[in-house]
Amino acid sequence: MPSALQNVPVSSDEAAERPPVALALTVSTVARRMGVAPATLRTWDRRYGLGPSEHQPGSHRRYTSQDLARLDYMRQLVMVGIPPADAARSARERVFDDGDLVPVTQGLPAGGPVDVQPTPAARAGGGHVVAMPGGGPAARGLARAAQALDTAACLAILSDSLKRRGVVGTWEQVAVPVMAGVGDQWSASGQGVEVEHILSAAVQDALAGSIRSAPSPLNSRAVLLACAPDERHALVLWAVAAALAERRIGSRILGASLPASALANAIRRLGPGVVFVWAQMSESADPAVIDLLPVIRPAATILVGGPGWRAGTVPVPDGIIQVDNLTDTVERIAHAVGG
């Protein structure tokens, strides 16, 4: 593939000699290949003009090999930090050789970072810059897409990263650095709440898609994931659930600000093998909540995690496992349920 943002001139005679492209795929088929929702492809069509070009009277438009090559090209540019609108413009203008086209029998190629040097115009990803020292290409691309309030591009970057890196890698190397950068920007300027909302929604949507596409779980006892009663930051529960799903461990997300009585009722009803309680804020990390949990037989493994527990002034009760990161959490839960 030639360097990014470079057109390949092709004469009309050369184009006429090419055999017709037989590939004609529906929106739903292309969405499955790319790991995005059909609505995302429709948004790219409406917003960026990267839609299906094959049309026969009386039927819906279909995607050709040229269309898929453009979509993959745009995705690669976004992954290295090019704003989605500029990446789409380059993909529309570029002429693809036969060797660039996606074969009918394959999904979109995994590919890798393309050789691209962003131009000054391509750095305007919404008017603000998110500071992410050491952030990789995918994180920079996600930050630009979030600043541009481009939900479709955010979801595409995250979905692609989940395929390449898995849940833990995507969470730690892509999502968390960008969310931290957006949070720092808001703390410093008081602006950017809308960016945080777009980003959080895209992260949850991508993780939920990963859970839905995972193989059927094998664990016989339930795994409950909940926030402490006054804790509203529940996004990490989706990361835990998605990472567990990769290991064929099913879980149930009980969500944010769950009353201790509701968690106790769920434990009595389900007899889980593991209960994980998250606290982002120290005010939420109340060990008394753990003391109120019912004792069941066989006993459940109780884990607590999050900065709130580490910063808490009251020690975590004896017998409770305190985890420090996503990998540790997943390993502890897998060990407890035999996964």
Is 157 within a domain?
yes
Is 152 within a domain?
yes
How much is the average pLDDT of 218-224?
A: 96
Give the domain range for residue 170. 134-211
Same domain for 187 and 230: no
Same domain for 169 and 234: no
Spatial CB neighbours of 233, under 8 Å, sequence gap ≥ 6: 227, 256, 278, 280, 281
Tell me the CATH number at 43: 1.10.1660.10
User: pLDDT band at 104, cuts 50/70/90?
Assistant: very low
Same domain for 203 and 240: no
156 or 104, greater pLDDT: 156
The two beta strands, 252-255 and 274-278, are: unpaired
Is 114 within a domain?
no
DSSP annotation of 281 reads S
User: pLDDT band at 103, cuts 50/70/90?
Assistant: very low
DSSP annotation of 319 reads T
CA-CA distance, 82 to 94, in Å (whole number)? 15
Q: How many other C-beta atoms are found inside a 10 Å radius of the C-beta of residue 196?
A: 16
Tell me the CATH number at 178: 1.10.1240.10
Burial class of residue 8, CB neighbours in 10 A (0-12, 13-18, 19+)? exposed
Same domain for 313 and 221: yes
Considering the entire predicted model, what is its pTM? 0.67
Same domain for 301 and 250: yes
The count of structural domains within the chain is: 3
Same domain for 332 and 221: yes
Is 129 within a domain?
no
Same domain for 53 and 30: yes
The 252-255 sheet, strands edge to edge: 252-255, 223-227, 274-278, 301-305, 321-323
Same domain for 332 and 257: yes
CA-CA distance, 138 to 326, in Å (whole number)? 20
Q: Which of 75, 76, 98 is nearest to 21 (CA)?
A: 98
Is 233 within a domain?
yes
In DSSP notation, 146-170 reads: HHTT-HHHHHHHHHHHHHHHHHHHH
SS3 335: helix
Tell me the CATH number at 298: 3.40.50.280
Q: How many other C-beta atoms are found inside a 10 Å radius of the C-beta of residue 26?
A: 15
- 211, 230, 247: which is the final residue of a domain? 211
- 168, 187, 211: which is the final residue of a domain? 211
Q: pLDDT tens across 117-131, in order?
A: 333 333 333 445 676
Q: pLDDT tens across 163-197, in order?
A: 999 999 999 999 999 998 888 877 777 778 899 99
Q: Is the dihedral of CA 133, 154, 241, 109 positive or negative?
A: negative
Same domain for 96 and 53: yes
Is 27 within a domain?
yes
Same domain for 164 and 52: no
Q: What percent of the chain has pLDDT over 90?
A: 42
pLDDT at residue 39 in the model:
80
Same domain for 202 and 282: no
Is 3 within a domain?
no
Same domain for 202 and 251: no
Give exposure, 43-70, as e/b (b: 16+ Cβ within 10 Å): bbbeebebbbebeeeeeebbbbbbbbbb
Say yes or no to pLDDT of 82 above 50.
yes
Tokens 């995507």 locate to 170
- 77, 100, 123: which is the final residue of a domain? 100
Is 21 within a domain?
yes
